[in-house]
Chains A and B, each alone.
Chain A
Amino acid sequence: MKTRIIALLIVLAGVYTGYFVYSSEVNLDSSFPFQYGLDLDGGTHLTYSADTSSILDSEVSNAMESLRQTIERRVNLFGVSEPIVQTEIGSIFGDGESDNRLIVELPGITDVTEAIDLIGKTPLLEFRIARSDAEAIAQIQEISLIEDKTEVAKKVSELYVPTGLTGGDLKRASLIFDNLTQEPQINIEFNSEGTKLFSEITRDNVGNVLAIFLDGQIISAPVIRQEIVGGNAQISGQFDLEEARDLVRDLNFGALPLPIHLIETQTIGASLGKATLESGVKALIAAFSIIFLFLIVWYRLPGLIASVSLLMYIVLMLAIFKLIPVVLTSSGLAGFILSLGMAVDANILIFERMKEEISKGNTLRNSIEEGFNRAWLSIRDGNLSSIISAVILFWLSGTSLVKGFALVFGVGVLVSMVTAVIISRTFLLAFSNDRSEGFLVKLFGTGFFKLKK
């Protein structure tokens, strides 16, 4: 009797979960919608590599974090819904060099040029000290002979050494006008760290040139007259009003602390994404129906029970996708469909053991209990090995494609183990009692063979 009440409660919980999944999908204002990855929804995925060669190893993670925040601010400014900006270390085992990366995902934006502009336009502001060694002086003469402008810019930048002070140390930039000439100037306020660095640089280099570089181009090269402690600096280039205004905006919203370059782009159009999602869902329904049919034809009543518990497995997984939330991708859907096939395994293991016990002449109830107990070790060890591979996949993979698959697959195996052991078992026991013989036992048989009794 007790198991029947529990079975009923499980059914109710399953129906409720199903209702939750359904209602939160129909109701557009729901706080738990499915979240689709770019390959299902359309959008742009960009991977940047950051050049960390100019800073100390110990500062890399801080610099990357401030790079991430800067880009995130910039992306948010353009009103993209739910963008993802994250850092990643792409290490190649063995050669000791790690590549610091920035990943930007922009749902809904399918115009790569627009997306790259959105991020790439951001200026890189650097303060550099002029070199005064003989080699540098020789180089100045060389430069005057070069005609190619980008080549000149490159050579000029080699004349100055980075000080470590960058746009990342900025607190605020504002537009001011020179008292005498009324020319637009940019006033820079450093944050506390920047102030300290700025005063140190100006103290140690009095009489030297402190050049201001914007995206590798020199824009201003004032001479340091004295130590500046207040944390304020003025840039007076030859700006017109509009240039100065844009520069102030860009400095405030996104002066990049590190130079970055694009190494990977992925764009999926919205229509292709929709088609991918549709075929994924169709495959899921087809896979479930075929398995359902197979189980009922082959295992009769237990097969039906397994199908119900499989249905609850699906509902539970969908609810988990919504609650965690798991971002669904085409590879995640594939992992889900595969886990469906494997979720059946635990049920099959149990049923086969159960049949053996029935053949030995045990009562139905004992056979069910024994079947579960004996199958448990195989289920545990088998599923553990699957979970281990999911964890390693998740841990070692760099791409969101593989991560999405590993997450869904791992969670799927775990949940399937629970549903098979708890839900299938309770249902089976609810259908049996000690007196149940004859007809009921037949229902527990295999489709094509008679059970030896």
Chain B
Amino acid sequence: MWITIHRKIFYTISMILVIASIVLIGVFGLKFGIDFTGGSILEFTYSSDVLEKSQVESILSNYDLGEYQLKETGRTGYILKTKTISDDVKNSMESELSVNGNNPLTIDRFNTVGPTLGDELKIKTVVALIVLSLIIIVFIAYTFRGVSTPVSSWKYGFVAIIALVHDIIIAIGFFGLLGHMFGTEINTLFVTALLVILGYSINDTIVILDRVRENLKDKSDSYREKNFTEIVGKSLRETMARSINTSLTTLLALLALYFIGAESTKDFALALIAGVFVGAYSSIFIAAPLLVSFKKGN
């Protein structure tokens, strides 16, 4: 199979992507939303007369907001992101922005997050990623315990984790790039997306490894007669249609979510689209070929 034979090419592509992602994150950093940093977000819509952005800005300059962001939503509203503001400040801002009720507006959203919650979320995210990876590695080693030759069942878990770390790093790097270019922020839903990518990537890899296991057990087709590289190649070929079709349907569902779904889940869908794409790639071009590389003597 051409994939297992030319595996070094795919390793190189992935190495480049992973290193590029790490450099990107290192240079630009990540843009965290208020879920992580703490702060306030105020979204409001005018019902008739809309204030110009400059008018809104001049009203906001009366308040001590530090560095804030003001974005227009459609033609009738604004989203304001600032450091944490109290309820009183919000109320007085609201009455000034509505010119004392002459320009009626509705508050669509007012969220305030304290900084301690943000720190907690960061730690929880890292803990969740590590705990899940460890459980998955044990789970795979256990389910594949029947096939410990020619490659130990722990190595099946190990290649799945490598594929997974690869997917997660690239997904984060992708969001680092989006954050730099369009100001896309990392929020709680992005964390959820990362964990889903993790589950999906594992699922995708397991199906291929499962086929390897089955082909190894097949006595007429044992690795003694065929070499391990060929068996992995055969398994890849047999699961290729499924890998592509499943990723395709999942991607279609996610594209619907991205283009038609709610504004609040758009970035979430985008992260998942990137993750599912990279996840499918890594299962086919990284995880399975790595199994060949891990066999002693290769």
Contact = CB atoms under 8 A, between A and B. Distances in A.
A378 B211 CA distance: 8
Q: Which of B203, B253, B259, B261 has the most CB atoms of chain A within a 10 A radius of its CB?
A: B253
A331 B265 contact: yes
Interface string B107-137: 1111111101101110110011001100110
Contacts of B206: 378, 381-382, 385
B128 A396 contact: yes
Contact of B128 (A47, A263, A378, A393): A393
Contact of A341 (B114, B195, B252): B252
A286 B260 contact: yes
Contacts of B238: 356
Contacts of B261: 279-280, 282-283, 333-334, 337
The interface size bin for chain A is: 35 or more
B251 A378 contact: no
A424 to B, nearest CB: 15
Contact of A385 (B110, B189, B199, B214): B199
B264 interface: yes
A325 interface: no
A99 to B, nearest CB: 7
B123 A386 contact: no
A85 to B, nearest CB: 19
B107 A110 contact: yes
A266 B210 contact: no
Contacts of B259: 283
Given A90-B120, A341-B251, A348-B242, A381 B143 contact: yes
B260 A290 contact: no
Interface string A266-277: 111101100111
Contacts of A282: 260-261
Contact of A389 (B87, B110, B111, B199): B199
B249 A272 contact: no
B207 A349 contact: yes
B248 A294 contact: yes
Interface stretch (A20-28, A172-180, A401-409): A401-409
Contact of B117 (A110, A263, A331): A263
B263 interface: yes
B48 interface: no
Contacts of B91: 113
A94 B128 CA distance: 14
Nearest to B44: A269
A338 interface: yes
Interface in B222-261: 238-239, 241-242, 245-246, 248-257, 259-261
A385 B117 contact: no
Contacts of B263: 276, 279
A399 B188 contact: yes
A80 interface: no
B253 A341 contact: yes
A449 to B, nearest CB: 10
25 contacts: A92-B120, A99-B116, A113-B91, A265-B112, A266-B109, A267-B111, A268-B108, A272-B108, A276-B263, A282-B261, A290-B252, A294-B249, A337-B254, A341-B251, A352-B245, A356-B238, A382-B204, A383-B203, A386-B203, A388-B136, A389-B195, A389-B198, A393-B195, A397-B128, A405-B192
Interface of A: 39, 47, 49, 90-94, 99, 110, 112-113, 116, 263-269, 271-272, 275-277, 279-280, 282-284, 286-287, 290-291, 294-295, 298, 330-331, 333-334, 337-338, 340-342, 344-345, 348-349, 352, 356, 374, 377-378, 381-386, 388-390, 392-393, 396-399, 401-402, 405-406, 409
